[in-house]
Structure 1
Amino acid sequence: MLAGLVAVAGIALHHSTSEIPAVLVLATFALGAWAFSLVAVLAALRARSVVLTVMAVALVGVGVVQYGPLVSPARGYDDDGIDLRVLVQNLQFGGADPVDVVRAVRDGGVDLLLAVEVTPEALERLRAAGLEEVLAYEASDAAPHAAGVAAWSRYPLSPPERVPGFSLGVLRTGMAGPGGPVTVVVAHPVAPVFDGPAAVEEADRLRWFLGGLPGPAPVVVGGDFNATWDHARFRGLRGLGYTDSVSGGGDGWVRTWPADRSVPPLIGIDHVLARGAQAVGETSAVRVRASDHLGVLATVRLPADRVR
């Protein structure tokens, strides 16, 4: 019975839009709570209770519906599309190893690097490490501690625009992509564990901002969202036409934090999203030394038949 109640709590947290800080934090672990439904099934079978077995199986079924998109096969890719390799990396207060960042860009064939927690010192170290030799175009707004955001691209970028109303930084720029214009956004909304009310406010503000970006040019968004797929406000971006790297390619959970401990990362809060793209997939994690986040590398398939 207790396992079933925990599973019910996990399902409720997955759908919760509560603004209570503790609920926002607990929602991060909704998947783990739902997994107790499997324990509930075993317990019900052992007790030979038909009612409890039916209830436990129903809880399992609800979870399968909830999490099925994360492992469902990706939809077919258009052969005429253009692949854009996107890497998202949190630099942990600017302390990430710049040489390792450049290595990750080279090894991953990255076309677009979106970074958060970019300090002025980190910006200079990345330039000195040769990042501009790989990604020649930069749109950055470096700041102390965790407030800096930046984008580097293989294709020309317009001057950066810092979006007001975000304590850790959201940056917008335009990219003259290989198939036409692309709007690029680097996002770093505040974490609910630090400030629950602000996290709700910034999540809603980010939704409003991303929903208001003009088309028909595709939009590519990446960053540390401080939210997992179990957070309803993050999943709500799909209602605005965005496909996320968690569920878009059927690659499952790509856990990114914490990456500097003796245990593997527990949760995935770094994401790539796109609107107006054919697909987002081929998602994997990338390790960069001296960062507490794994990077997220994903392929965004852009439409090719657009007028520049």
Structure 2
Amino acid sequence: MIRILATLLGLGALAVAVTGFAARYLPIAGHPTLILAAAAPYLSVAALAAMLLFVVARRWVLALLAVALTVALMWVYVPRFLPGPSEQTDAVDVRVLTSNLGMGEADPRQLVALAGAGADVVAVQELTQEAADGLSAAGMDTVFPHRVIVPAPGATGIGIWSRHPIVHSGRIDGYALPMVGTRIRVPGVRVDATVLSVHLAAPWPMPIEDWKSDYATFPDTLREMGVAAGAGAVIVAGDFNATYEMAPFRRLLDGGYSDAGNESGAGLARSYPAGGIGLPLIGIDHILIKNCAAATVRTVVVPGADHRGLLATLRLPVDMTAS
């Protein structure tokens, strides 16, 4: 009886784990596949349970199948917790903080204190006019004297503050929410860095069409930004409203981009939801990089916001022609 029960439970666990593995590669056509992809890391844990249950049931063929699936899942997830090799010896460190302000509700004093202590560039999303005024009153413009901000009601505001000079900027339209792009002159780096603050459409609980449209278009924007940047670093920070498990997000990495969290070994870098006493469940805030490297990435608490911020130390080569 125990063997039968363990076998049945093992088959159920195996089905859950296979679903989690497959969800990473399925096209996201609607909310069901979206939810499965977001839950993939949690579903994948069932592979270990299946392996143990099949051993208890002495179902050796099924146990080997569960072992193979577990190894495949480890091949997918373990590298995300391991920092990649550092190849840049002559580089300038630039610290980047990205934070979704939660409809402008983030505490301005604490955000300025956090940014002032740990960042050189700050990318924000959901920047309302009230939030912009509060940040300025709290000293943001003093600590970060260069800025490009587009305050707007609700979730539509966006902005960038920088310690280093902003030498060019522009608003990027054509998406559900506006974005801003800048060229920042980092002392000691030969070619100006391109920095974008982005906020892609949310796929839930509203209809998913805007999200799908943004993800169909954004790879072209990244490609164009990469071409325009030439040998210069490209840093794309913000609320992507997608986890790394979602295939449309991973397609953004084509063309030489990498996810700074993955490159630095930050693991799942879960950032949402950040309210209440529980831990965030999914990582939808990201920093994508090109022509530079990620030394460290970690999530940080931003009081009042419904996302955790993401704080990264990036290494920009001094001679970008050598990157």
Q: For 1:225 and 1:294, how far apart are their aligned partners in 2?
A: 13
For 2:180, the aligned partner's letter is: L
How do 1:94-109 and structure 2 match up within 5 A?
Answer: 94-108=104-118
CA separation in 2, counterparts of 1:98 and 1:107?
14
User: Does residue 295 of the first structure (1) align with residue 304 of the second (2)?
Assistant: no
What percent of counterpart residues are identical? 35
> 8 Å contact 1:25–1:192 — kept in the other structure?
no
**1:89-137: per-residue Cα shift (whole Å, max 9, x none)?**
01111111100110111221x1100000001111111111001111110
What residue in structure 2 maps to residue 157 of structure 1? Answer: 166
- Stretches of structure 2 lacking an aligned partner (at least 5 in a row): 1-10
The amino acid of 1:188's aligned partner reads: H
Distance of 2:87 and 2:256 partners within structure 1:
17
Q: What letter corresponds to residue 157 of structure 1 in structure 2?
A: I
In 2, are the aligned partners of 1:13 and 1:23 still within 8 Å (CA)?
yes
> TM-score normalised to the size of structure 2?
0.91
Deviation at 1:17, TM superposition (A): 2.0
Aligned to 1:231: 246
Q: Which residue of 2 aligns with 1:305?
A: 319
Which one has a bigger Cα radius of gyration?
2
Residues in 1 aligned to 2:39 and 2:166: alpha-carbon distance in whole angstroms: 38
- The equivalent residue for 1:202 is 214
Cα distance, 1:237 vs structure 2: 2.2
**1:129 matches 2:138:** yes
2:177 & 2:110 partners in 1: Cα distance?
Answer: 24
CA contact 2:115–2:122 (8 Å) conserved in 1: yes
Shift of 1:158: 3.8
Match of 1:267 among 274, 282, 301: 282
Query: In structure 1, what is the Cα distance between the partners aligned to 2:41 and 2:26?
Result: 13
> Quick check: 1:113 aligned with 2:122?
yes
Alignment-derived partner of residue 167 in structure 1: 176
Shift of 1:223: 0.2
Give the CA deviation at 1:203.
1.3
* Structure 1 residue 253 displacement after superposition: 1.7
Aligned residues: 305
Q: Work out whether 1:183 is the aligned partner of 2:198.
A: no
Deviation of 1:75 (Å): 1.1
Q: Return the structure number with greater helix share.
A: 2
Secondary structure of the structure 1 residue equivalent to 2:24? helix
Matched, 1:76 2:86: yes
The 8 Å contact of residues 243 and 280 in structure 1, kept in 2 or not, is answered as no
CA distance in 1, matches of 2:14, 2:262: 26
Listed one character per residue, the Cα deviations across residues 155-176 of structure 1 (whole Å, up to 9, x for unaligned) are 1114542212222222111111
Measured after TM superposition, the shift of residue 55 of structure 1 is: 0.9
Q: Tell me the distance in 1 between the aligned counterparts of 2:235 and 2:315.
A: 11
| Equivalent position to 2:299, from 285, 300, 303 | 285
Paired residues of 1:175 and 1:183 also in contact (CA < 8 A): yes
Paired amino acid for 1:29: A
Aligned counterpart, 1:44: 54
User: Is structure 2 residue 99 aligned with structure 1 residue 85?
Assistant: no
Amino acid at match of 1:250: G
SS of the residue 1:210 aligns to: helix
Query: Mind listing any 5+ residue stretches in structure 1 that lack a counterpart?
Result: none
- For normalisation by structure 1, the TM-score amounts to 0.95
